[in-house]
Chains A and B, each alone.
Chain A
Amino acid sequence: APGDTLKAVQARGALNCTSSDGNFEGFAEVDAQGNWHGLDIDYCRAVATAIFGSDDKLKLIPISWAQRFPSLQSGEIDLVIKASGWLFSRDTELGLQFSMPYFIGVTTFMAHKDLAAKSLADLAGGTVCVAGGTSTEKLVSDYIKEKKYEVKVVTFEKNTEATAAYFANRCDAYAEWGPIVAATRATSGDPESHDILSDALALEGEAIVMRQGDDNWVDIANWVIAAQRIAEENGVTSKNIDEMKANPPNTVVGKLLGVTPGIGTRLGLKDDWAYNVIKKVGNSEEMYNRNFGTESRYKLPRALNSLWNKGGVFYAPVLD
């Protein structure tokens, strides 16, 4: 119920979070053992850990793109962490509330190399595959219309089908959000035969989505993201966190890790929530590296997704 999502979650003893209905590389994917991995999944784990101290009370519910908001509205899930862009229409008409973005990217296109296309303009008469009901679909449609390109958009219920169609040559190009395009290309088996086009569409920030009207719940989401960034800024990682807790290098870390009390109660959580999150899930850098960066199959540079002091656009609010 609104205003009490946290209480409801605690009473239920489980956090209902989104997973995917297929594979969304880097964000939510299933391995051969049937386990979920990915950045979105890690954020679900982080929120669950913040609330319960560990992520074993996390319930990952497979949900299609088209159903994520209806499922949120119907109370089926507590929050949507599914690479969902912060759009005006969603924020206003759909009665949704967004956390601060945890990831940003530019929507880009990938095209078959044999077309020798440099940009979308070279694909006159061609087609682009995208997953339907997504912000990408809207962005791409708008872009094509604005530029008056003669390119057709073909939408699919799931991203899996959109990529499958692209690889099967149904479309000349595939549009998704940059990191995904890069990851898809990297794992296509033959990356050389696909080009990333020069077109770069609007920058889109992905955020955690919640129902409107529960401010405390939004605060929790925001501060889970914030805590990991503060940890990264202060060099706290899952490996050194116990030393840091034993003797905090500064007051911020002390507060963050619950050495100085107060960080928990005001959110309705225990004081060690941030400690648990970083211990179990890691700080923001560790999350990125695990899912997109050096430790992943994709090896994407972090670039804009770095913190402000490393050339990125992210920062943490002040923990005072």
Chain B
Amino acid sequence: MTFSFGNRKQRDILLQAVFLAVILTMLLIAVMTTRRNLEIQGLSVGWSFLNYATGSSIVFSLIDYDLDSSFARALLVGFINTLFLGTISVSLAVLLGTVIGTARLSSHKLVKSIAGVYVQIFRNIPLILQAFFWYAIFVNFPSPRQAIAVQGGFFISNRGIFFPMFNIEAWYLLAAIALFIIGSVISVTVARRTGRGSSLVGILISLALACIIGYAGRLADTPLFDMPQPKGLRFLGGGTMTPELGSAIVAIALFGASYVAEIVRAGFLSIPAGLIEAAHALGLGNWHIFWRIRLPLMIRRILPTMTNQIIWLMKATTIGIAIGFPDYFGVVANSINHSGQTISLIFLLIIGFWAINMTISFTMNAINRALALPGHKK
């Protein structure tokens, strides 16, 4: 068969081949240029630096780390920090955003306008400036010696917020919390889906299991709670939220909430008015309509947008670098400076964020699929 440009199928094949060729050539040129440039400067790209000691310290770490730890360890610290900061601040953003988004549709005009002002202010100022601002607030708390003591063993100072902690090994604690959350979610869903049984039973069972796990991980010979005690310039015991972590959380949560609020509001507004009317016509009260009709429908409608928003907020954790929180990006940037391994480290940075994203999209899509309504078209 001879080739003819007028023939659609043949032309399509040709176009695709050209497209691929152009892209591959560009990639090839980039790789070759890089090699040559590196060679000229006598630099080598490799991974051996990962085992060298960093010689620098990291102010916030959930796992053991010191000066002699390797770059690999430092990167792990940064990655865990990003996950930690991201999980907390994004969850808070979603919760707060849902409340504010709902408030924006309130029939109470004051509530509505406060929510509106909130959204406008926090949406329209760059996150990095907000982070600077909250950081300034956090470091202007009184010094540890004059720390504000709050009932129940909490202390607020410019070195951070100190709070009581379980005397339970970290991993056990984590497992217990995860188990409780997952267990409750599953039992609520199952109860809803089947319409049989009470979700309370399931929640109680998972709570009991969580307690057992927590008991197994208890540190021997210690009280259940580890209370922070003032001592000199610091507090001993308990948990600490450093100003860097605290202000990063507050900044991202408040900033994110303003975006989430808009999504939630749009989600509520996109529910066909007819459904709400039908609910009214059946005699359902506002409270029931909200929990049984509007909320579940809103959640389903916003899930895809919310996935993007969560990913976006997760990426926003990189502003940690501006206020000294050692997130993944910050640790990578610092490591580049200390090791000079720019290319390898940027590669690791990209892989790290891809991994985070994949996980989020995967989870959210799974949730989306689980909640998807059979036969319901978008």
Contacts and interface: CB of A to CB of B under 8 A. Distances in A.
Asked if A and B form a direct contact in the complex, defined as CB atoms under 8 angstroms apart, the reply is: yes
A155 B232 contact: no
Q: Range of interface residues on chain B?
A: 35 or more
A66 B333 contact: yes
A133 B321 CA distance: 12
Contact of B56 (A69, A155, A156, A157): A155
Task: Pick from B143, B232, B233, B326 the residue with the most CB of A within 10 Å.
Answer: B233
Nearest to B326: A155
B334 A123 contact: no
A170 B243 contact: yes
B182 interface: no
A148 to B, nearest CB: 12
Nearest to B158: A169
A56 interface: no
Contacts of B159: 127, 170
A66 B41 contact: no
Interface in B157-196: 158-159
B140 interface: yes
Nearest to B60: A154
B244 interface: yes
A212 interface: yes
A123 B233 contact: yes
Interface in B297-348: 321-324, 326, 330, 333-334, 336-340, 342
B337 A69 contact: yes
A249 B8 CA distance: 88
Contact of A93 (B40, B244, B340, B342): B340
A124 B340 contact: no
A118 to B, nearest CB: 15
Contact of B41 (A73, A124, A141, A156): A73
Interface string A155-171: 11100010001001110
Contacts of A145: 66-67
B337 A213 contact: no
A61 interface: no
B49 interface: yes
Contact of A137 (B56, B66, B136): B56
B108 interface: no
Q: Range of interface residues on chain A?
A: 35 or more
Nearest to B341: A93
B338 A133 contact: yes
Nearest to B333: A66
B74 to A, nearest CB: 12
B294 interface: no
Interface string A68-83: 0110011100000000
A44 to B, nearest CB: 21
Given A125-B233, A161-B322, A212 B41 contact: yes
Contacts of A213: 41-42
B138 to A, nearest CB: 8
Given A155-B57, A157-B330, A70 B336 contact: yes
Given A123-B233, A152-B59, A157-B324, A170 B42 contact: no
B218 interface: no
B234 interface: yes
A93 B57 contact: no
Given A66-B334, A94-B340, A169-B139, A125 B231 contact: yes
B296 interface: no
Contacts of A137: 56-57
Nearest to A117: B233
B88 interface: no
A22 to B, nearest CB: 12
A124 B232 CA distance: 7
B13 to A, nearest CB: 40
A185 to B, nearest CB: 19
B241 interface: no
A211 B41 contact: yes
A191 to B, nearest CB: 20
A126 B233 CA distance: 5
Interface in A215-268: none
A138 interface: yes
B153 interface: no
Given A65-B337, A66-B337, A165 B324 contact: yes
B139 A95 contact: no
Given A69-B337, A157-B321, A169 B326 contact: no
A89 interface: yes
Given A115-B233, A133-B338, A212-B42, A154 B59 contact: yes
Task: Pick from B41, B143, B158 the residue with the most CB of A within 10 Å.
Answer: B41
Nearest to B234: A125
Interface in A44-68: 65-67
20 contacts: A67-B337, A93-B49, A93-B340, A94-B339, A95-B41, A95-B43, A124-B233, A125-B233, A125-B234, A126-B233, A132-B334, A141-B56, A141-B57, A155-B326, A157-B330, A157-B333, A169-B139, A170-B139, A172-B233, A213-B42
Interface of B: 37, 40-43, 49, 55-59, 66-67, 135-136, 138-140, 143-144, 158-159, 231-234, 243-244, 321-324, 326, 330, 333-334, 336-340, 342
What are the 5 A-B residue pairs with the smallest beta carbon separation, nearest first? A125-B234, A133-B337, A94-B340, A170-B139, A126-B233
Given A132-B324, A154-B324, A155-B59, 9 more contacts: A70-B336, A70-B342, A125-B144, A132-B337, A141-B55, A145-B66, A165-B139, A168-B158, A170-B159
